[in-house]
């Protein structure tokens, strides 16, 4: 499971897309290079989104 933000980035608000690009530009590169590692990062990324949304 890569997450909904990978399959449908358009569904996200523009502001969240900008935050993602600023926060993790190298993360997307690592995803392409190490997809198996992204499985673990996906969980931390979701928790990051949750904390960002609660602010």
State if pTM tops 0.85. Answer: no
| Residue boundaries of the structural domains of the chain | 26-55
Rg (CA), the chain: 11
Distance in angstroms between the alpha carbons of the first and the last residue of the chain: 26
Give residue 19's pLDDT: 57
pLDDT one-digit tens code per residue, 11-52: 555 566 555 555 555 555 555 555 565 566 667 777 777 777
pLDDT at 54 over 60: yes
Query: According to the model, what pLDDT value does residue 39 have?
Result: 62
């Amino acid at each position: 499971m890569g997450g909904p933000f990978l399959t449908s980035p358009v569904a996200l608000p523009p502001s969240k897309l900008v935050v993602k690009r600023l926060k993790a530009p190298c993360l997307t590169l690592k995803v392409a290079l190490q997809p198996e590692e992204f499985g673990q990062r996906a969980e931390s990324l979701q928790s990051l989104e949750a904390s960002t949304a609660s602010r």
